[in-house]
A and B are shown apart, each in its own frame.
Chain A
Amino acid sequence: MSGTSIEAVIPSAEPAAGVREIEFRDALREAMSEEMRRDARVFLIGEEVAQYHGAYKVSRGMVDEFGERRIIDTPISESGFAGMAIGAAMLGLRPIVEFMSWSFSLVAADPILNNAPKMLYMSGGQFGCPIVFRGNDGAGGQLGSTHSWSVEGLYSNVPGVKIVIPSCPYDAKGLLKTAIRDDDPVFFLESERMLAMKGPVPETEYLIPFGQAVVRRAGRDCTIASWGRPVNFCLEAAEALAKDGIDCEVIDLRTIRPLDLETVVRSVRRTNCCVVVDQSWSFGSPGGELAAQVHAACFDDLDNFVHRVHSADVPTPYASELEQEYLPNVRRICEAVRHATYRA
């Protein structure tokens, strides 16, 4: 895949103390607006992104600044507008495609999985596909089985895609800017449950490179590796476990393709223990892949097999309590860590 041009990189994980706090959705909008000001080839396309300012108000005000030629409302036709945007990307533009929900991207499976990631390869390098697909992923809260997909389980299986799953506003902005400048197709997975989450985001420009995990919490007894929304549950679980004397190190992978195995391995070599938390289903999942890679890289360092916490292997329930129990939650993460550390 072709390279990424990153002019300014802040490799450190955390913003400095004292910076302003904004919502996750605003961090996304800032990333898109900044990149659109910087590069006239960038445009946003999707359902209700312009006149209605986005179904989740992520693109609020963008049509006023950039006009209808660059903020484009579409009919309810994911396969059509995703395919159209891929064509635009092949011919030199840099589209951002908003799926109201990644669950709706399934009807666009052929363009996004069969065309975008393979274009560079199949055209012998003649056509790249610098495109970002973004939208809400995972259970949004009682949306039922069909609208609660964690698509990373399916999509991470495809070579040629980059998959970004941020866990906080700071990462959302820095990673989305990198995604827009990347020359390859990027699947950017947000969470409806995190859009209103506030966090520090500096006003000065920064980008976060792909494939660079960050240690959210240092600890000695067990490595918990996760990405996206569940990272926040892992941190909560780590605090609860600390009260019982189990000191967890929480690693946020931030992107699962590319996957920063190094950071996890370095940690597991120290803790001798690993729990992977992944909100997709377990069978054939990125969490399963990470666990396999940790087993291979850390075989002689492990004191127990890598434990995994996933969504339960059933269609997402509608009932709110069942939904909570179905997802990786603090209680289930704590249980897994206790078993993995032999302190159950």
Chain B
Amino acid sequence: MTMKTLYKILSLTVIIFSLLITSCVKDLDTIPLDDDVLTSEKIYSDFNNYEKVLAKVYAGLAVSGQRGPDGNNDLRGLDEGFGQYTRAYFYAQELPTDEAILGWNDGNLRDYQEMDWSASNEFIFNMYSRIFYQISLCNEFIRETAADKLTDRGFNSTQISTIETFRNEARFLRAFSYYHALDMFGSVPFVTEKDAVGSFLPTQISRTDLFDYVETELLAVEGNLMAPKTNDYGRVDQASAWMLLARLYLNAEVYGVSAQYTEAITYSKKVIDAGYTLEDNYAEMFMADNQTANGIIFAIPYDGINIKTWGGTCFIINAQVGGSMLPADFGISGGWWGLRAKPQFVDKFPTDNSDKRKMFYTAGQAKDITDMFNFNHGYAVTKWKNVKSTGGAGVNATHPDTDQPIFRLADAYLMYAEAVLRGGTGGDLSAALGYVNEIRTKAYGNTTGNITQPQLTLSFILDERARELYWEGYRRTDLIRYGLFTGGGYIWQWKGGVQAGVATNEKYNLFPIPDADMGANPNLVQNEGY
């Protein structure tokens, strides 16, 4: 091979290669072809998309992914069956308590019900992941709706003001999820809109600092949210912020800050004075047309066609039905044979049926639970239904139309009464008694269930909260506030993993930081005892 031929080869190669490189290397710059997938830049250039992105922030509480009831999951590696936010919340708040037992042999679900979970529990990881997913969604939206960005994108002032309302709702929803983190996990990684998406290791915020943050955020957005009852159904308003503030203050001591019962009274009173009324018929608040029920301040909407999930009310209603219960009575085509009540909770009600909130199904059901996996052990509950108050079932026999109440007026009444009893100022006992008796009058349909001033004790309030708010996700927090969740002060069946129930370690008042996050983030310190 001579130098000349070599030269020829080389020059030919160079010519052809340079042609190919210039024409084809650009092919590597691809953007999504799918009409349903848009780059971030495109999304935020169009005003109409802001509502869609905010709707997803809300939908993060309602559904598990971008296809109903499953498919295109928000989270990865977690089952969409139990992966939805409020179902995870129900598991965490109800299953470890005296109110509910779930008869399925799913993974470490049993540990939840026996109060002996560890940091590798997948259901705890699921709850934790949902909370932080929700926080990330909010952060992204808050980051992308900063004032300077909106101006740069050339929106007019009306548009900007609409987007700013959206932004405040997103800030509320972020505080709402941080509140869950505060309540269940204590000290957690802390991320705000100031942290860009990507690989970094968040630092942990102490429980008290997180309390302050949630409080500050809620106070900051409170005034900028829509006035009570003026926003669209399915969106939050000022009353939601007040409800959350009241709950935050009521539990302040649990969260490691000084007692703030006065503030609890202030904010529950704001809700009470906002013009809501209690629902006459308790059952109607948990039916397929409960969007028209009174006394619901904020609910997560469901719809048998448009908003479907395996969590939410779909889970509660389907899991609630089994044994000889007729699915059609609940507006569904078949039960999942899962949820029942524990006997200690059943005993909170009078033995007769005077309290209409006592909604148990007992035919073929034993009161005691000797086998937690047997649906016939434990009374079944009939509180939730996919049936309308006017008769007739929801449109879909698996995925109910029943909305899931998040904030209810009755809770404001009970928080007010409890805060007064716990020594908060700015309220009074007679008003408290009046509120409680108002609830009981609705429950009994008359005044026979009303109580007297001496009967209005803290322990009465706790029991009344159970009767009024059971299976709505309050119980764990309530029992902890009363010091009865762990330890031996109050024993229920299967507490601590034995049928009769035993005292448990107080470390279980907090869930552990899941080991997946401990592994991913070396900045984190595990909760005590785990």
- Bound pair (A, B): no
Footprint of A on B, CB under 8 Å? none
Task: Give chain A's interface residues, CB within 8 Å of chain B.
Answer: none
